[in-house]
Amino acid sequence: MPNIVLQRNLNEYNVKDFGATGNGSTDDTSAIQAAINAAPAGSTVFFPAGTYLVSSTIQLVAVLAYIGTTGSYGGATIKQKNASNLPAVIASYEWYNNSTTCGNPVRIENLTIDCNSANNTTSHGIVLMNYDSIIRECTVINAPACSIVNSSVNRGGTSISNTAVENRIESCKVDTAGQHGIWIQDNNGLITDGYIDSCIVSGTTQDGIRVDRAAGYFIQHNHVYAIGMNGYNLNNCWDTFVIGNEVDGYGQSATANYYAGISAVLLGPRASVFADNIICVNYETNDASNYQHLNVTGGGVTDTKAIVAGNAILGGYVNTSSTTSITAGSSTACTPASMDGIFVGQHLTVGSDNITVGSVTATTFTPSATWPSNHGPSIYFISSNKSQANSTGITYQSNSTQQASGQTCTIVSYGNRVEGYGHYSFFDGIALVGPVGIDGAIALAQSQNYQVQTISSSSTITTAGFGSIIVSASSNATGVILAAGTQAGQVIIINNEGAGNITMAAAGTSFVVNGVQDVIAAYNAKAYIWDAVQSLWYPFNPSFSIPNGTALTMYSDAYTTKTLQLTGGTVCYAPSSSTPTLASSGTITTSGVGVAKVTTSGAVTGVILQAGTTDGQIVTVINTSGNSITMAASGTSHVADGTSDVIAANNARRYTWNATNSLWYPCK
């Protein structure tokens, strides 16, 4: 008699109907594979609650859905049998059988994959080599290798010849992996434009989420914690959105290296967005490692762009087993008002109570211990506390190839908060390496609790770990040493709050290129950049520049009336918008203009020059007619020379307003 299988749903193929037991001890491999092989395209392979033991990789046929019991995680578990050491517990047919083209879509939902790392030394959890596929609400635990992999490379290591784009990994949980938690393995740009959304990843030996080609990816609302290496390792970002993610502990490997909470390498020219992420490091486990909480790097040989906004970063303190006490201290943010158009490596001027970069001035460094009540379009750059100067809050850099080709990495950066945690030394809140353009607000890492270094003759100013250094010389100090820098391109600002001048020692002693000629005046500030080749600090030269094609325009009101314009190096007083015809006893308008143009139909007398609005205001009156213009008496015309003041035909005359006696004086 033929074997007849009764289906509860014509579209559903229940693995138990094909002999699977789900009892956790019987090998269910053959039964599960039989159900898959029997299911026609468009149908569902269903796993009721239970633990299904497998000793061979389950090969997922395309255009099928693989669904576990709906409800909580762990209802239907596929577990690798002891000592099986599979390449993957479940994988797409194409990947397993070394196809050189990707498979059609598959859908996997509500399954738990237990890779059983306690009794196996190899194996990924789920591996797909398909396009337009979905892995949703799945749990992968105890993977000796990676938990979830989307790959453009088959099991034998050969790349596919087509693309496997637009895949989704959603609402999945990954716990304990010997390599990466989620890995988009893509050596040649064939798996792009996907989603990794609302996943929880923990306990990985390597990266929490790694994407080799992140172009077109939305990586959002994920939470990674207890990560051995990088929280998010994202390469080739191009139209990439990294939004609303959390990192809670990374770089926990015992191997000293550079680790990042979020590491992103940009691929231009399209911009990528890194916004509203939270990166926390309670313990920076390895004191020899370098922790870069948010690292955005330009890549390739094209201009690269990124928008970095609204990220909150809290650094950690060293996790030590010694009896040394590391106590938490309060942090103070250093906040400028607003600073746009910064281009690192161009002109930087630091004066009394203000900092000018490029063409925009931000006034007054204001220490602030509160947030978010005082937060605004500014970045608070205070990084974590390490016993070594090897931790940065946000790093923007271009790579060596980009630098060599003269390309730039341009960042629009605003609304980010970086603060330290723990011991009494802050290190670089922000590191800028190579030709990186910044558009946003920057406050360099400042001394803890607004602490002041007292300076006297032959003192040394500490520079390690600070961007903005507060010092005070109560009387003139000479022979002062500026401690050597720690990294090429390091930038510091020395703020002298004392009544005495600070004069550096000779260059060979002070590490300052100008030696004894370098003076920081009382109640003033000065910026320096470290040249690691010469082992010298170089002061920034004060400069204000308007590059070709840009203009500085001043207005007398709410962006309506131009008064002064600087374009391409030429200063222009804004002219009146029209040239009115002036009659005798008429009034020439001066409010809101630098140049007042008038004409007449004949010689006019008794003319009034409208009263000025600001002491020292300058206005030029241009008579465009062939007739003379004679002013009224000084008490009426507001002109000091009264009726003696005549603007000849086709001529001009400049006046300055004296607010003390309310009169215009001609510039003779």
Widest CA span in the chain: 127
Task: Give the model's confidence band at 5: pLDDT under 50 very low, under 70 low, under 90 confident, else very high.
Answer: very low
**Are 309 and 365 in the same domain?**
yes
- Let me know whether 571 and 534 are in one domain: no
Which has the minimum average pLDDT: 372-376, 439-443, 594-598?
372-376
Contact 467, 446 (CB under 8 A): yes
- For residues 664 and 432, the model is more confident at 664
Tell me, yes or no, whether 329 and 421 share the same domain.
Answer: yes
Is the pLDDT reported for residue 345 higher than 80? Answer: no
Choose the weakest-confidence range: 435-439, 467-471, 536-540. Answer: 435-439
Higher pLDDT, 500 or 372: 500
Cα(57)–Cα(46) distance, rounded to whole angstroms? 17
> Looking at residue 201, what is its pLDDT?
98
Rounded Cα gap, residues 286 and 388, in angstroms: 11
Rounded to whole angstroms, the Cα distance separating 546 from 552 reads 8
| Lowest-confidence pick of 302-311, 534-543, 549-558 | 549-558
Residues 440 and 461 both lie in one domain: no
Question: pLDDT value at position 447?
Answer: 42
Summarize the confidence of residues 298-305 as an average pLDDT. 71
Instruction: Report the mean per-residue pLDDT for the chain.
Output: 77
Same domain? 396 vs 286: yes
Two structure tokens written together for 517: 């000629």
How confident is the model over 9-56, as pLDDT tens digits? 568 999 999 999 999 999 999 999 999 999 999 999 999 999 999 999
Are residues 323 and 353 located together in one domain of the fold?
A: yes
- Which pLDDT tens digit goes with each residue over 169-204? 999 999 999 999 999 999 889 999 999 999 999 999
Mean pLDDT lowest for which of 58-67, 321-330, 481-490, 644-653? 321-330
Once rounded to an integer, what is the mean pLDDT over residues 589-604? 88
Tell me which of 258 and 89 has the higher pLDDT: 89
pLDDT band per the 50, 70, 90 thresholds, residue 496: confident
> With contact defined as beta carbons under 8 Å apart, do 411 and 375 qualify?
no
Determine the Cα–Cα distance for residues 463 and 477; give it in Å rounded to an integer.
18
Domain-ending residue, one of 448, 463, 490: 448
Query: Is 283 a residue whose pLDDT tops 90?
Result: no
Q: What is the pLDDT of residues 615-650, one digit of tens each?
A: 888 888 999 999 999 999 999 999 999 999 999 999
- 155 inside domain: no
Q: Which tens digits make up the pLDDT trace of 358-368?
A: 222 223 223 23
One domain for residues 280 and 393: yes
Assess contact for 587 and 612: CB atoms under 8 A: no
**Of the residues 488, 508, 539, the one at which a domain ends:** 539
**Cis geometry, peptide bond prior to residue 40 (ω within 30 degrees of 0):** no
3-state SS assignment for residue 507? helix
Does residue 246 surpass a pLDDT of 50? Answer: yes
Give the span between the Cα atoms of 212 and 201, in whole angstroms: 18
Q: What is the pLDDT of residue 396?
A: 62
Of residues 114 and 620, which shows the higher confidence score?
114
Q: Is the pLDDT of residue 108 over 90?
A: yes
Assess whether pLDDT exceeds 90 at residue 317: no
Residue 233: pLDDT over 90: yes
Q: Is 276 exposed, middle or buried (0-12, 13-18, 19+ CB in 10 A)?
A: middle
- 61 found inside a domain: no
Same domain, 300 and 421: yes
Instruction: Give the count of domains, the chain.
Output: 3
pLDDT of residue 592: 74
User: Distance (Å, rounded) from C-alpha 11 to C-alpha 331?
Assistant: 61
Q: Containing domain of residue 354, as a range? A: 267-448
Question: Are both 304 and 405 inside the same structural domain?
Answer: yes
Q: Say whether pLDDT at 117 is over 60.
A: yes
Above 90 in pLDDT, residue 247?
A: yes
Q: Are residues 408 and 534 in the same domain?
A: no
Dihedral sign, Cα of residue 177, residue 181, residue 187, residue 190: positive
Element (H, E) at 233: strand 232-237
Confidence category of residue 346, pLDDT binned at 50, 70, 90: very low
Q: Is residue 383 pLDDT above 50, yes or no?
A: no
**Any domain includes 572:** yes
Query: In the listed set 448, 479, 513, which residue is the last one of a domain according to the structure?
Result: 448
Establish if 620 belongs to a structural domain.
yes
DSSP letter at 581? B
Q: Mean per-residue pLDDT for 403-412?
A: 60
The confidence band for 429, taking pLDDT boundaries of 50, 70 and 90, is: very low
Higher per-residue pLDDT: 644 or 416: 644
The answer to whether residues 444 and 496 belong to one domain is: no
Whether residue 127 lies inside any domain: the answer is no
Q: Is the pLDDT of residue 523 over 80?
A: yes
**Assigned token pair, 241:** 């959105």
Q: What is the pLDDT of residue 408?
A: 59
| Position 84, amino acid | S
Domain membership of residue 649 (yes or no) is yes
pLDDT at res. 315: 61
Residues 593/561, Cβ–Cβ less than 8 Å: yes
Q: What is the pLDDT of residue 512?
A: 93
**How would residue 415 be classed by pLDDT, with cut points 50, 70 and 90?**
low
Q: pLDDT value at position 269?
A: 79
Burial (Cβ within 10 Å: 0-12, 13-18, ≥19) of residue 321:
exposed
Instruction: Determine the Cα angle at 448 with ends 516 and 512, to 5°.
Output: 15
Same structural domain, 384 and 417? yes
pLDDT band at 486 (very low <50, low <70, confident <90, very high): confident
d(CA 436, CA 434): 6
| Residue 642 DSSP SS3 | helix
Given a cut of 70, is residue 7 above it in pLDDT? no
In a domain, 11, yes or no: no
In a domain, 182, yes or no: no
